[in-house]
Amino acid sequence: MRTVQRLADSGSDAGGAQRAGLRVLRVLLISTYDLGHQPFGLASPAAWLRAAGAAVTCLDLAVQRLAPEAVRQADMIALYLPMHTATRLAARLVPQLRTLNSDAYLCAYGLYAPVNAAFLHELGMRAVIGGEFEEPLLTVVNALGAGLDPGSVLGDGGEVVSMSRQAFRVPDRSGLPLLNNYAFLTLPDGTRRTVGYTEATRGCKHLCRHCPVVPVYGGRFRVVQRDIVLADIAGQVEQGAEHITFGDPDFFNGPAHALVVVKSLHQRFPQLTYDVTIKIEHLIKHRELLPVLRDTGCVLVTSAVESVDERILGFLDKRHTGEEFVAVVEMFRQLGLHLNPTFVAFTPWISLAGYLEFLGEIYRLGLVDHVAPVQYAIRLLIPEGSRLLELAPIGALVQPFDHEALVYPWVHPDPEVDQLQRDLFRLVQRRLAEGRSRAAIFTEIWRVAAERCGCPERAGEVVLPDRPSAVPQLSEPWYCCAEPTELQLTPSAV
């Protein structure tokens, strides 16, 4: 698959197809799951394709049913694959799409498309697009409208990773389900806020070994122009958004751009709150910017801490230390900002004792209310293209690629560790379904871990009341680096 900076001119002017006398192409964009968000990955290309004259229908199967008639009428069906779960769900969907419409041109786009290109071609995808996908999708549509083979235009058999510096369009969210169908934010007083979603940057300039962004962007990131970001947010506020999630892999990849966006946003919508994702390394490096986030409405900062074990952090190439994580916790406490740390709790290098130490650190730092319970049961994901495969210790542990699960399975040297992960995942599922609090779930996880570690005398060291969290929470706190299970293929389960 080639990486390109810019594709040839694709005729993206509004109404280009009609003025050129080409037939209007009927395009169906489908998302299967996007972490509880109204998909930017549907709304953004929809704007580009509609401006070029295509008749675009969007379906978000996380909250909608498949519309057979829309499938039958489509000339082109494009599946948005932003994460692993979405890709597996899409794979199950493709046979149904082909039965309903065997003539439609099928393509896949998004972060998980290029790393699974061979598998997607086997499913029947004619084009596989990664990186900055809007421009290549437009190229496909214009080629089809002109009666050409898009593969010949894209090159490399229709596989492309575009690193184009695009001039974005304001995402077109018309036809998508209303925002109240998606994740919401709950404040400590119990108030719920309707959540919108946008992206100010895509890609990342860092190379963490386990990160799914790295195989596609390779240390690069691209900026969505400020006016586009603000216009997208304004449109969602009109739809009822009271809070915005910025989906950037790291909001401080471009700190100057980020600050301009949030300052402008706060000036225009002073009551609007937001959350962002920023790595520990950047929170330390740009600590002087944190008061600006707080003062412009940021109520939650997600950070992929991953581990409190220095050795594991080294394997993952996270570029921060346990001491720096502790320093960030204290910084946030002093500033009155809320940290939402995420973890890959189960890796090939964790031990039963190490897992109990991890829980102990969460408790010692006063982070029980800050950590979504699913984080205690997440298992390392090793997809195709992962930098983890560069590590000799991983090579000795992984099994051949599983084309159904789309991962390199691995087995922990201690089978008791794998059993603990499975048991805790099921425990978390049950307790969340019962409406138990983060504190109550942590207490039970601590007890189980202490007993499995051979330290039953420590099981009673942590006893927290079943109380509401004092930290703002998103209703869908999933994160993207977990190895899949059948339970995880039901997004609402997490």
pLDDT digits (tens, 9 = 90+) for 441-456: 999 999 999 999 999 9
Residue 280 has φ and ψ, to the nearest 5°, of -55, -40
DSSP E strand boundaries for 365-470: none
Quick check: 348 and 392 in contact, CB under 8 A?
no
pLDDT the model gives residue 111: 95
How many Å apart are CA 163 and CA 135, to the nearest integer? 10
Residues in the chain: 494
In the chain, the N- to C-terminal Cα span, in Å, equals 34
Task: Give how far Cα 267 sits from Cα of 230, 261, 336, Å.
Answer: 11, 10, 21
pLDDT the model gives residue 3: 61
Burial of residue 261 (CB within 10 Å: 0-12, 13-18, 19+) is: buried
pLDDT the model gives residue 1: 59
CA angle 7, 8, 10 (to 5 degrees): 100
pLDDT the model gives residue 468: 86
**Which region, left, alpha or beta, applies to residue 451 given φ > 0 means left and ψ of -120 to 50 means alpha?**
alpha
Residue 129 has φ and ψ, to the nearest 5°, of -125, 130
pLDDT the model gives residue 7: 53
Q: Average pLDDT across each block of 10 residues of the chain; the chain has 494 residues. List them in order.
A: 53 43 86 95 98 97 96 98 95 97 97 95 96 96 93 84 95 96 94 98 95 94 97 98 97 97 98 98 98 98 97 96 98 97 96 98 97 96 93 88 93 96 96 94 97 94 90 77 42 32
How many Å apart are CA 379 and CA 421, to the nearest integer? 7
Among 49, 55, 48, 24, which residue's Cα sits nearest to residue 145? 24
Quick check: 63 and 182 in contact, CB under 8 A?
yes
Global pTM value: 0.92
CA angle 196, 369, 193 (to 5 degrees): 25
**β-strands 243-246, 221-223 pairing:** unpaired
Torsion from C-alpha of 109, 112, 113, 114, nearest 10 degrees? 120
